[in-house]
Amino acid sequence: MQQAKAKAIAVLQIGYYPALLQMRQSMLEHEGYAVTSALGNDQGMAVATTAHFDVIVVGFCSDTQNRIQMVRWLKQNVPSSPIVALLANNLESLPEADFETLSWNPSVWLTAVRTCAKPS
């Protein structure tokens, strides 16, 4: 009897700097995630409601207020998807996200993604 292959966990990552967006996409795909990337809030909003995402990652290369608005919009419009917010430093906070983590250490934020992901 052949076992069915497990469906990859779907990740939406919203980033604000193209090179970091691509780097994180590569890291996530290397970990086995099915990744959709969006550059900026407008693209993130357009993509977020087109499919179910098991977890959403919000990048750090934008001002805090812009990212707070993105997290709030996601919480209102896709409440079933947990949000991991990547922080630029210890002084920053996006309290409405389900998980906040410093962005400079991939092993830490990848662990946050793994912890928060809710496979459909």
DSSP code, position 5:
P
Any idea where the domains of the chain sit in the sequence? 10-116
Calpha distance 55→117 (Å, rounded): 5
- Convert the pLDDT of each residue in 49-64 to its tens digit: 999 999 999 998 888 8
pLDDT of 3? 54
pLDDT of 117? 85
Q: Which helix (H) or strand (E) holds 102?
A: strand 99-102
pLDDT of 59? 93
Q: Which CATH class is domain 10-116?
A: alpha beta
Specify whether the CB–CB gap between 32 and 8 falls below 8 A: yes
Residues 6+ apart with CB under 8 A from 48: 12, 14, 38, 56, 74, 77, 78, 81
User: Residue 45: which pLDDT band, with cuts at 50, 70 and 90?
Assistant: very high
- Convert the pLDDT of each residue in 80-107 to its tens digit: 999 999 998 888 899 999 999 987 788 8
pLDDT of 28? 96
pLDDT average, residue stretch 13-30: 95
Write the CA distances from 30 to 2, 14, 24, 25, integer angstroms: 25, 18, 10, 8
pLDDT of 103? 78
